[in-house]
Amino acid sequence: MTRAAVIQMVSTAELSANLESAGRLLGEAADGGARLALLPENFALFDSSLARDLAESEYRDRLLSQWLGEQARRLGIWLVAGSLPAIDRADGSLIEDGRVRSRMLVVDDRGEVVARYDKRHLFDVDVGDAQSRYRESDRFEPGDEPAVVDSPVGMLGLSICYDLRFPLHYQRLRDLGAEVMLVPSAFTAVTGEAHWEVLLRARAIETQCYCLGADQGGQHTPTRLTWGHSMIVSPWGEVLGCQERGEGVVLADIDLAGLRRQRDQMPVWQHRQDRC
């Protein structure tokens, strides 16, 4: 077995304060024996109006990428940056219309970026909360392709937040070999209370994979409240640990031998009558 961690934050518009919190929580994860730690969506900056400025700075100076590499080397763990704004695409072209992409980076314990994924599904939704209207597509461009990468805790399937509502995304990741689904998020309190846990458990059961859900969990602005309840779910759909509100770290052991045994005993992938 190998231990993984999901980290819950209450990020703000203050980059330095967010990085201080993230570094401290990553240290707790490493002290708890984690080989891999997942940060939530928007961990470094919780203000979409500043996303383009941060993306341009990162494209020019790579300071956040350097910070992530330093943390991974310092702690001797793999870490996953839940999302950072990016102005370049996978082919190297720049986004010229003022928008950015929401990008996950997977960093190994040598501090090297070994995989990236750009969020495919954008949250253009009306919600019954104080903010009411969410239109990610105003500021973000969708990504193109699913992505998986091998790691010390198993083959990782990459996703971000609203992707969680689209089961074909996770079926594709399973087809690509995923064993552990990563779901960094900033679910609203309204949608999170209704659907967060049931969707994580459904994706785990459907794909026979672990699901690591790292959520934002508190009051960010007068109108922005996130649900929290970051959790790790087993391939059987069991919640192995949960942080309900506020900052915290959830640890659980990833049992790949048990996962493969379960797949052998209930070979649902061989029983499928369709392919995505």
How far lies 39's CA from each of 79, 207, 247, in Å? 8, 22, 11
Joined together, the tokens standing for residue 99 give: 């928008």
What is the distance between the alpha carbons of residues 256 and 243, in angstroms, rounded to a whole number? 24
What is the distance between the alpha carbons of residues 80 and 7, in angstroms, rounded to a whole number? 10
Cβ neighbourhood burial of 81 (10 Å; 0-12, 13-18, 19+)? buried
Q: Which of 119, 136, 179, 247 is catalytic?
A: 119
Cβ neighbourhood burial of 166 (10 Å; 0-12, 13-18, 19+)? middle
Q: Is 161 a catalytic residue?
A: yes
Q: By C-alpha distance, which of 10, 4, 7 is closest to 248? A: 7
Q: By C-alpha distance, which of 133, 109, 154, 146 is closest to 1? A: 154
Mark out the alpha helices in the chain (DSSP H runs): 15-31, 51-61, 63-75, 167-175, 189-191, 197-207, 256-265, 268-271
Q: Is 276 a catalytic residue?
A: no
Joined together, the tokens standing for residue 251 give: 């640890």
What is the distance between the alpha carbons of residues 79 and 43, in angstroms, rounded to a whole number? 13
Q: Which of 141, 161, 209, 247 is catalytic?
A: 161
Q: Is 41 a catalytic residue?
A: yes
Catalytic residues: 41, 119, 161
